[in-house]
Amino acid sequence: MLFLSTAVAILAALVLADLALSAAVIRRLRETEAKLIDMTSPPASGLPIGSPIPHFVSPDGQVSNADLAGSPVLFGFFSAGCRHCPAQAEALADRSQEIASTDVRVLSFLSVGEDAADELGPTLQKAGLLVIDDSPSAVMAAFQVQGTPSFVLFGADGRLAARGHDLSEVLGSR
């Protein structure tokens, strides 16, 4: 009987030690996950919420800020070499009818380098007006966009309502 009691006590001690180690490992994994999310999330940049639409003219002269006055506008910024852009372009095309039903105009800017193929153009054309730029865009600089994909949503009052790198975070429940 003494042997059995000793074995149970040792086993209980081992189980408690295992639980303590498991809790420490889980805590460390959560801390590491939080650090990874911080490292991989693009920094918050761009125009402050509430800013007016900046003055701009598209590189092809097709559209300017004056053409968009009085209506809500969703700007999307994409580049041909961006690995996250195809998924966001597809999401924008998929939600284009839903966005149009809320009277939001969609304007996409696609930066295409000399060596890059324009694979996103056909998808982005489904969502609204598309402006293709073959050089670093002055429009991106005007909107203080530092990475693609990026979205900025202006309300009918011409003020920035939302911005982000993911369409769903910008549109929210719209």
pLDDT attached to residue 42: 55
Across the beta sheet with 105-111, what order do the strands follow?
129-133, 105-111, 73-79, 150-154, 160-164
| 33 plus 80 within the same structural domain | no
The CATH number assigned to the domain holding 148 equals: 3.40.30.10
pLDDT > 70 in the chain, percent: 90
Q: Cα–Cα distance between 131 and 124 in angstroms, integer?
A: 10
Is 134 inside any structural domain?
yes
Q: In which residue are the tokens 């059995």 written?
A: 4
The mean pLDDT values, 10 residues at a time, for the chain of 174 residues are 89 92 92 77 72 89 88 92 90 92 92 74 90 80 89 94 91 67
Beta bridge partners of 150: 77
pTM of this structure: 0.71
| 13 plus 99 within the same structural domain | no
Is 150 inside any structural domain?
yes
The domain in which residue 152 lies consists of 65-171
Largest CA distance in the chain: 92
pLDDT attached to residue 70: 87
**Token duo for residue 86:** 């195809």
| 22 plus 73 within the same structural domain | no
Is 50 inside any structural domain?
no
Is 54 inside any structural domain?
no
Q: Per-residue pLDDT tens for 59-74?
A: 888 899 888 888 899 9
Q: Cα–Cα distance between 52 and 27 in angstroms, integer?
A: 44
Q: Cα–Cα distance between 100 and 103 in angstroms, integer?
A: 5
| 165 plus 110 within the same structural domain | yes
Number of domains in the chain: 2
